[in-house]
Copies of this chain bind each other. A is one copy, B any other.
Amino acid sequence: MATQKQIQLAKRPEGMPSDEHFNFVETEVPSPNTGEVLLKTLYLTVDPYMRGRMTDAKSYVAPFQLDEPIDGGVIAEVIETQSEKFNKGDIVIGHLGWQEYSVAAEDNLRKIDPEAAPVSTHLGVLGMPGLTAYFGLLDIGQPKEGETVVVSGAAGAVGSVVGQIAKIKGCRVVGIAGSDEKVQYLTNTLGFDEGINYKTSNVYEALKSACPDGIDVYYENVGGEIGDAAFSLLNKFARIPVCGAISSYNKTEKDLGPRVQTKLIKSSALMQGFVVNDFAKRFQEGAEALGKWVKEGQLTYEETIVEGFERIPEAFIGLFEGKNLGKQIVKVAEPDIAVLPHN
Contacts and interface: CB of A to CB of B under 8 A. Distances in A.
Interface of A: 58-60, 220, 223-224, 227, 242-245, 248, 254-275, 278
Nearest to A278: B268
- Taken together, the copies of this chain in the complex come to 2
A58 B233 CA distance: 11
If over half of A's interface residues share one DSSP class (helix, strand or loop), that class is named, otherwise mixed; here it is mixed
A33 B208 CA distance: 46
Contact of A270 (B227, B258, B271): B271
7 contacts: A242-B261, A244-B265, A245-B265, A248-B261, A264-B271, A265-B273, A270-B272
A259 B227 contact: yes
B259 A264 contact: no
A140 to B, nearest CB: 9
A274 B243 CA distance: 22
Contacts of A245: 259, 261-262, 265
A197 B195 CA distance: 48
Contacts of A266: 58-60, 273
Contacts of A59: 266
B273 A263 contact: yes
A242 B255 contact: no
A83 to B, nearest CB: 34
Given A271-B271, A272-B270, A273-B268, A227 B261 contact: yes
Contacts of A227: 259, 261
A262 B265 CA distance: 20
Contacts of A263: 273
A248 B258 CA distance: 11
B274 A272 contact: no
A54 to B, nearest CB: 14
Contacts of A58: 266
A243 B266 CA distance: 10
A291 B271 CA distance: 32
Nearest to A277: B268
A264 B255 contact: no
A337 B269 CA distance: 46
A248 B242 contact: no
A267 B61 CA distance: 11
A262 B246 CA distance: 9
A117 to B, nearest CB: 29
A82 B59 CA distance: 66
A263 B259 CA distance: 13
Nearest to A271: B271
A259 B256 contact: yes
A265 B273 CA distance: 4
A68 B227 CA distance: 37
Q: Which of A220, A244, A255, A259 has the largest number of chain B CB atoms within 10 A? A: A259
A106 to B, nearest CB: 30
Given A242-B265, A244-B261, 5 more contacts: A245-B261, A255-B262, A256-B257, A269-B273, A271-B271
